[in-house]
Amino acid sequence: MAVDRVLAAHLLRRATFGPFPGQVAAAAAAPTFDAAVAALLAAAPSPLPAAPDLTLKGAAPISWWLERMADPGAGLTEKLTWFWHGHLTSSRAKVNDWAALWRQHLLLRTHALGNFRTLLQAVTVDPAMLWYLDGGRSTADAPNENYARELMELFGLGRGSYTQADVTAGAYGLSGWRLDRFTGTARFMPANGPRHAVTFLGRQVSSSTEVVDAVCDHSDCALWIAGKLHAYLAGEPPTPERRAKLATLFRAGNLEIKPLVTAILADPTFPTARLNRPRYPVEWVMAAMGAFGLSNPAAATRYLIAAGQVPFRPPSVAGWPTGMGWLAPSLALARDAVAAKAPAIEAVAGAQDPVSAALERCSLFEVSDRTVAALRSAAAGIGNAQRRASTILGLTVASPEFALA
Amino acid sequence: MKGPSIRLVTRRQLLGMGLVAGGAAAAGGAALVNLLAGAGSRASAVPSVGSAVGLATPGPASTPPPLSTWVTAPRIRPVKDLAARRLVVIDMAGGNDGLSMVPPIDDARYRRLRPRTALDPASVLAITPGVGLHPGLPGLHAAGAAIVQGVGITKPDLSHFEMLRRWWSGDVDSVHQTLTGFLGRLADHVGDPTAAAAGVSLGYGPSPALISERVVTLSMDPYGDGSFPAPAGLDAATAWTAAWREMAEYDPSEPVPFCSARNGAAYAYRFSQLAGGLPAAATGYPETELGAQLLLAARMLARDNGVRIVHVPFHGDFDSHEDHLARHAALMTELDDALVAFRADLAARGIADRVLIATTSEFGRRVPDNASNGLDHGAASFAFLAGPVAAGLYGTYPSLATLDADQDLVATVSMLDYYATIAESWFGVPASDVLAGHPSPIAGII
């Protein structure tokens, strides 16, 4: 093997919903770590299954997405689609239209590794977004400020890069879109839109396109996106110097997302940033189910409800928080409920050393002595091979190592 | 609603574990500085905004009226023993519109500023001739509450996430950058460090409001039972528990994420013992999430198990940029229905004199409405304390004639004074121990 399995597993934890069993060995066969990154970026995702049932009752899109994430061939695109869902958020809790949310999902999927400006322009007038952030009835006479503020505070620039006057002007520039909630479509009504140019972020704008362009052209935009994507993939915010370099690269590349992702994953600091953040609940449950050899969207959804990370239901427009809060006691109990139902799979039950087999199955290649000792004494205390196998696999999934990304 | 993550230095990361379990930092032996020490020197920069703030035109009359004029239930006297007192905080994140919760009844400016979203004066539940409660709050109207008018922050911000931070931290001007939550600091003062939990948030994941230094605070899924699942079979279950406890062993030499993961497991295990001993649930609650949360809160507070503070994140969407009237009305009804059941439950358990109910929200809403029948982000709002309190209107009704530069209400009562009332008047904790800026409790409520 040319790439250390520890590093191959790290790359797959961050850039996909895996590693799924067998994937680490394949990634480790690449000649160098950079080659493994390049292979991940070049891999075409497996074909998408047919669209889910989009009738209002039920939650088929959630199951559809969890099933898709459980596909080992879904790869980097899936992870980036999830990232954008947490960044350019909309929630089913408010948007009472699965079809509109599904079209937004496809938009995020299409542009997940594409161009940020194209994505932000499209999301700004996307019907589900107009619904979620109240742009669908905003008129120039009394503009609704919701989208204008979040466009700058959360989506494009970050706090401190704009004033309340920019929020007011942005809301004016964005006005005039009309959402039809029955058809889930939106169109621009010139009579309700801007009648003159306004000063927004230091330039004159008179349409939603110009508002979004002004955000994308602002020097803080590339910094904001580079910082957030780095924090997600590398598990920690970049240093100011690193962030500035990434932003320069992002701007020079015309806000193309793929080169930014490549630069983050291929940076010499990336391989050392291991196990420095929690596996967020969606990542954790996908990896756990993968180790169990199951795709069980219903069980995954039950866990995600308890953990507070249900797809299409972000807790706020800021998406899901990051940080150590996901290792809190209530989350430990929720993980335990999944782990305690581990199956007795042959890869563990039939192994000479079930503890090593369980660790390999879970792609854990750097494990504390304490965890190994705990697993070994548990294995020694259970006579029945099947029950030993399920218990050891469950405890491995419940270990602190598996809880980290 | 939590904002984007904040980069924390190492000690902050340790404190961040307060999210996991407040006791962890102290247990690790770190001597943590009093984060509020020295804050007092800034007092002059943070004026306490009492009712004396000069308003060009005062709002409707605000003298607390005699109880009998609007409250039909008898007053509950607070339990004398301070150690027996508990707190439930209902957090209405998203920005609850105070002008709709406590509307003016006969104010032409209100209807002129809000042509699309003003309440029908005939529907308002009157407290005084000029001020009433939202028509969706008949239970609160009958039971009475201490309504705090114009509560807010002197120099407000219009961002949810900035204002949420100020409210959870109790850091009014965002200067002190306190690392603990206001409720976490209160729990540090009134809680037992050996308890499985002194503060519990009934939500999906931890609340920063409960970040503590000395006591354990944690969160619990409102529909969960806190039990500790283990596989079937006695030998497997025994091995499971032993291995879990071994893996949960705290080792300060390990990196922070490992410490957090191990601590999370350790405190979960301890808390599952407490959760397993909760008394049975009462009936009569509405089938809403808030109903489930308050049902669990009553069970959690019914016994002397160490839990002193319960934080209830009300997951309703208060951010009513569109269709304010109908959406806000549904939320008020949901709140009232759940509170009526909760207060009946507390009374039946004999603990109504022990539990103070308080509301928070990061801001009120813009005074003029927008074209989509909604209200954008605003500033000052209203809050209430319910339970063993003297019902009435406290503070001064914010002026509709003199709005701030963004067309928002100017605060007449500081968030700090509101919090000081909870700390000092209810728990007997000197406000200056948990809040910067020398705030004073609002007189007469407890």
Domain assignment of residue A353, given as a range: 281-397
What ranges in B216-288 are assigned the alpha helix state H? 234-247, 256-276
Residue B51 has pLDDT above 70, yes or no: no
Question: Which residues in chain A have Cβ-Cβ distances shorter than 8 Å to B205?
Answer: 307-308, 321, 325-326, 328, 330-331
Same domain, A261 and A335: no
Contact A327 B20 (CB under 8 A): yes
Backbone angles phi, psi at A13, to 5 degrees: -65, -40
Q: What is the pLDDT of residue B70?
A: 83
A337 touches chain B (CB under 8 A): yes
For B154-212, the pLDDT digits (tens) are 899 999 999 999 999 999 876 777 789 999 999 999 999 999 999 999 998 889 999 99
Q: What is the pLDDT of residue A106?
A: 98
Residue B40 has pLDDT above 50, yes or no: no
Q: What is the mean pLDDT of the segment spanning A228-244? A: 97
Inside any domain, residue A134? yes
Q: Which two tokens stand for residue B300?
A: 């959690």
Inside any domain, residue A69? no
Task: Please report, rounded to a whole number, the percentage of residues in chain B having pLDDT higher than 90.
Answer: 77
B330 touches chain A (CB under 8 A): no
Q: What is the mean pLDDT of the segment spanning A42-71? A: 94
Same domain, A293 and A393: yes
Same domain, A352 and A374: yes
Residue of B nearest to A316 (CA): B1
B260 touches chain A (CB under 8 A): yes
Confidence of residue B58 (pLDDT cuts 50, 70, 90): very low
Residue B388 has pLDDT above 60, yes or no: yes
**Do A155 and A126 touch, CB atoms closer than 8 A?**
no
Q: What is the pLDDT of residue B224?
A: 84
Q: What residues does B199 pair with on adjacent strands? A: B217, B309
Q: How far apart are CA B281 and CA B298, in angstroms?
A: 8
3-state secondary structure chain A: CCCCHHHHHHHHHHHCCCCCCCHHHHHHCCCCHHHHHHHHHHCCCCCCCCCCCCCCCCCHHHHHHHHHHCCCCCHHHHHHHHHHHHHCCCCCCCCCCHHHHHHHHHHHHHCCCCEHHHHHHHHHCCHHHHHHCCCCCCECCECCCHHHHHHHHHHHCCCCCCCHHHHHHHHHHHCCEEEECCCCEEEECHHHCCCCCEEECCEEECCHHHHHHHHHHCHHHHHHHHHHHHHHHHCCCCCHHHHHHHHHHHHHCCCEHHHHHHHHHHCCCHHHCCCCCECCHHHHHHHHHHHHCCCCHHHHHHHHHHHCCCCCCCCCCCCCCCCHHHHCHHHHHHHHHHHCCCCCCHHHHCCCCHHHHHHHHCCCCCCCHHHHHHHHHHHHCCCCHHHHHHHHHHHHHCCCCCCEC
Mean pLDDT (chain B) is: 85
- Partner-chain residue, chosen from B244, B257, B374, that has the shortest CB–CB distance to A324: B257
Q: What is the mean pLDDT of the segment spanning A41-51? A: 96
Among residues B397, B324, B362, B277, the alpha carbon closest in space to that of B119 is found at B324
Among residues B119, B116, B159, the alpha carbon closest in space to that of B372 is found at B116
What's the DSSP call for residue B359?
E
A325 touches chain B (CB under 8 A): yes
Judging by DSSP bridges, how do beta strands B132-133 and B125-126 pair with one another?
A: antiparallel
B positions 84-113 inside 8 Å of A (CB): 93-94
Contact B221 A306 (CB under 8 A): yes
- Neighbouring CB atoms inside 10 A of A115's CB total 17
Same domain, A235 and A196: no
Inside any domain, residue A191? yes
For A1-33, the pLDDT digits (tens) are 599 999 999 999 999 999 999 999 999 999 999
Q: What is the pLDDT of residue B73?
A: 84
| Gap between the terminal Cα atoms of chain A | 22
Greatest Cα-to-Cα distance within chain A, rounded to the nearest angstrom = 80
Inside any domain, residue A38? no
**Do B89 and B444 touch, CB atoms closer than 8 A?**
no
Same domain, A135 and A181: yes
Q: Which residue matches tokens 């409707």?
A: B60
**Do A309 and A283 touch, CB atoms closer than 8 A?**
no
What domains sit in chain B, N to C, each tagged with a CATH number?
48-224+277-434 (3.40.720.10)
A403 touches chain B (CB under 8 A): yes
Q: How far apart are CA A298 and CA B356, in angstroms?
A: 39
Q: What is the pLDDT of residue A133?
A: 96
Contact B370 A159 (CB under 8 A): no
- Peptide bond connecting B103 to the previous residue in cis, omega within 30 degrees of 0: no
Same domain, A152 and A170: yes
Q: What is the mean pLDDT of the segment spanning B360-376? A: 96
B272-305 residues labelled b (16+ CB within 10 A) or e (exposed):
bebbeebeeebeebbebbbbbbbbbbbbbbbeeb
Q: What is the mean pLDDT of the segment spanning A278-299? A: 96
Q: What is the pLDDT of residue B20?
A: 32
Inside any domain, residue A179? yes
Neighbouring residues of A115: CB distance < 8 A, sequence distance ≥ 6: A254, A255, A256, A257
Q: What is the mean pLDDT of the segment spanning A248-277? A: 97
A151 touches chain B (CB under 8 A): no
- Partner-chain residue, chosen from A153, A237, A378, that has the shortest CB–CB distance to B242: A378
For B11-32, the pLDDT digits (tens) are 233 333 333 333 333 222 222 2
- Neighbouring CB atoms inside 10 A of B329's CB total 16
- Report how many domains make up chain A: 3
Same domain, A305 and A390: yes
Q: How far apart are CA B438 and CA B172, in angstroms?
A: 12
Q: What residues does B146 pair with on adjacent strands? A: B385, B392
**Do B39 and B232 touch, CB atoms closer than 8 A?**
no
Specify the pTM.
0.87
**Do B117 and B325 touch, CB atoms closer than 8 A?**
yes
Q: What is the pLDDT of residue B174?
A: 67
Q: How far apart are CA A73 and CA A18, in angstroms?
A: 10
Q: Residue B108 in 3-state DSSP?
A: helix
Same domain, A208 and A241: no
Q: Which residue matches tokens 């806190």?
A: B226
Q: How far is A162 from chain B (nearest CA, A)?
A: 12
Q: How far is B144 from chain A (nearest CA, A)?
A: 32
Q: How far apart are CA B206 and CA B19, in angstroms?
A: 6
Same domain, A251 and A301: no
**Do A99 and A54 touch, CB atoms closer than 8 A?**
yes
Inside any domain, residue A120? no
Q: Which two tokens stand for residue A372?
A: 């190994």
Q: How far apart are CA A284 and CA A304, in angstroms?
A: 10
Same domain, A290 and A342: yes
Instruction: Please give the interface size between A and B, counted as residue pairs whose CB atoms are below 8 Å apart.
Output: 243
Which residue in A89, A172, A331, A396 has the most chain B C-beta atoms within 10 A of its own C-beta, making it the best mutation to test that interface?
A331
The vertex-B87 CA angle with B86 and B93, nearest 5°, equals: 165
Same domain, A161 and A237: no
- Partner-chain residue, chosen from A136, A306, A329, that has the shortest CB–CB distance to B268: A329
Same domain, A296 and A378: yes
Q: What is the pLDDT of residue B32?
A: 24
Q: Which two tokens stand for residue B148?
A: 């705090």
Q: Residue B294 in 3-state DSSP?
A: helix
Question: Which residues in chain A have Cβ-Cβ distances shorter than 8 Å to B204?
Answer: 305-308, 315, 330
Q: Which two tokens stand for residue B382?
A: 């209203």
Residue B106 has pLDDT above 90, yes or no: no
Inside any domain, residue A90? no
Q: Which two tokens stand for residue B286?
A: 């509405």
Residue B251 has pLDDT above 50, yes or no: yes
Backbone angles phi, psi at A108, to 5 degrees: -60, -40
Inside any domain, residue A82? no
